[in-house]
A and B are shown apart, each in its own frame.
Chain A
Amino acid sequence: MDPTQSTLVQAQGLLRTRQISAVELTQAFLERIDRINPVINAYITVDHDGALEAARAADRCLRAGNATPLTGIPIGVKDLFCTENVRTTCGSRMLANFRPPYESTVTRRLKEAGAVILGKTNMDEFAMGSSNETSFFGPVRNPWDIGRIPGGSSGGSAAALAAHLALATIGSDTGGSIRQPAALTGISGLKPTYGRISRYGMIAFASSLDQAGPLARDAADIAVVLQILAGHDPMDSTSIEADVPDYFNTLANRLDGLRIGIPEEYHPDGLDPEIRCALKEAERVLLDLGASIIPVSLPHTRYAIPTYYIIAPAEASSNLARYDGIRFGYRCQEPKDLNDLYTRTRSEGFGPEVRRRIMLGTYVLSSGYYDAYYRKAQKVRRLIAQDFHQAFEAVDLLLTPTTPGTAFPLGERVDDPVAMYLSDIFTINVNLAGLPGMSIPCGVDQRGLPIGMQMIAPVLKEERVLATAHAFQCATSWHQRQPEL
């Protein structure tokens, strides 16, 4: 059996029972990456030596019997998690040669758990994009159709899984960057509650919205990875101090008594009929599993995109001011004075979408516009969050489509930022409210492209989302479909 075709939980079994060693498992993935990555471009950096060294250490732990659930598990990490002495580019020319002198909390926890980090996955530059076309290292291709985008910004993490180039990957999600690519590549992806996973060492896009999360083949695999990543970190002042439940052992087969809300605003007239159909079918499955379906309303939904496109660029414009060509990163050739150093370094080091968002964010914060834009958006953000809190008084979970359409062709929306921004219309609200949200596959369109559904839970109720997803996946096989490569 080809171990790259297994799930994380299956591979765990193979390692535990010594049917395969961590080194063999890692080598199988590295060989597959060497073969397939040139087509998909899911990885920016493959760390052959580091991965094999970690695999050897994992084998020692497995032999010694002190393995964790992640010991020896090959994982890909989005290239915005700082890895000590391993290049961390954030998909940008600005950081094309940056070797951090520190480790992100996410990668530190993975390493301490014995995981094998295969490499750093491709992404939209500074996580700004919904198609993975803004990466300085070239677009990622969707394994289901290499003429199409995999979604973004964690497009590399999603495509790597769909192409079986890792057993799990880590992404980040500011406005849908885990869930949207998961939906478009037919895998499962969870954005936990804001603050559930530390942001320390995760290169910031929009600090009040950014959240790391796992992508994997199914809910059970995600539960295993989340267990390692979740929990308070004293290095992150916004990290939540709350106990971490046992995600794996709370996975369910039945959903009796679960009240699932269907927000009407997420089924607009223009919604792709195939997606509407797939969601209807999913509702029927959930009903069969014992859940009840209740219509609800989130009246401020349509304001999410404009709210997000004020808050996120505003925070980004400030977060990205540190890229000045002085302490690290790209620096322009022969700056003639300080201003020249700043402007040329930043204009040459950042791509057009990043520059556009910095401009937008600078504008909405600038003197005379702050109240009209930024403060207004923060107020609307509260209204959006209150919509969710009210809905959760009547239901336990919300079910929505993850995206308004399936994967679109490369290049289709590159020059139309507004059209591109609208592809995050169903995911952005969840970030604004800080809630956990997960996308899992629930169907295909006529081209055979995956369709995803999103489940949203109240704050810190990740286990509810995972349990629902697991029950759904026990009853369906959408998550087991694989692209031909």
Chain B
Amino acid sequence: MSITAETVKHVANLARLKVDESGLPALVRQLSDILGLVEQLNELDTGNVVPMSHALDQPMPERADEVTNSNRREAMLANAPDTSQGYFRVPKIIE
């Protein structure tokens, strides 16, 4: 299975990653190699197999509806690269 440069660019956009034109051929080749590896799965008939999305079969725990957190604004903003008046600041979101 090979992947096209167009697809790589589309996927990069979905993932919010930049792909330089210079690095594109190498990335296309590497991703194609990996997908080549993945091809082997088609040998298997998995028609009746139930997909396994968790390592173990156990049900979901639930927590009580209790407020346990208090205002930690300062600590929650301390790592932010850009804040203003207690808000996270980002470039203008075009509506």
Contacts and interface: CB of A to CB of B under 8 A. Distances in A.
Nearest to B60: A237
A304 to B, nearest CB: 10
Contacts of B93: 338
Given A208-B53, A328-B80, A338-B94, A195 B58 contact: yes
A303 B46 CA distance: 13
Interface in A373-397: 373, 375-383, 385
A418 B34 contact: yes
A317 interface: yes
Given A237-B61, A340-B91, A380-B41, A363 B3 contact: yes
A378 B56 contact: no
A21 B42 CA distance: 60
A343 B20 CA distance: 12
**Which of B15, B30, B31, B81 counts the most chain A CB atoms within 10 A?**
B15
Interface residues of B, number: 50
A343 B16 contact: yes
Nearest to A317: B15
B54 A238 contact: yes
A326 interface: yes
A101 B75 contact: yes
Contacts of A99: 78-79
Given A337-B92, A359-B11, A378 B55 contact: no
A111 interface: no
Contact of A306 (B40, B49, B75): B40
Given A340-B91, A375-B51, A378-B52, A359 B41 contact: no
Nearest to A357: B34
Contacts, number: 161
A356 interface: yes
A302 interface: yes
A339 B90 CA distance: 11
A325 B80 CA distance: 8
Contacts of A381: 51-52
A86 to B, nearest CB: 13
Contacts of A378: 51-53
Contact of A359 (B27, B44, B54, B76): B27
A302 B41 CA distance: 10
A451 to B, nearest CB: 26
Interface string B1-38: 00100011001101111100000000100110111011
B17 A346 contact: yes
A418 B52 CA distance: 25
B50 interface: yes
Interface string A274-304: 0000000000000000000000000010110
A329 B91 CA distance: 17
A28 interface: no
B78 A101 contact: yes
A126 interface: no
Contacts of A98: 79
Interface in A334-390: 335-344, 346-347, 350, 355-356, 358-360, 362-363, 366, 373, 375-383, 385
A434 B55 CA distance: 5
A302 B46 contact: no
A165 interface: no
Given A337-B91, A359-B31, A380-B46, A306 B38 contact: yes
16 contacts: A234-B61, A238-B56, A241-B58, A327-B80, A329-B79, A330-B81, A338-B93, A340-B91, A344-B18, A346-B18, A359-B17, A378-B53, A379-B52, A381-B52, A418-B37, A434-B56
Given A209-B55, A328-B80, 6 more contacts: A309-B34, A331-B82, A338-B93, A339-B16, A379-B51, A417-B34
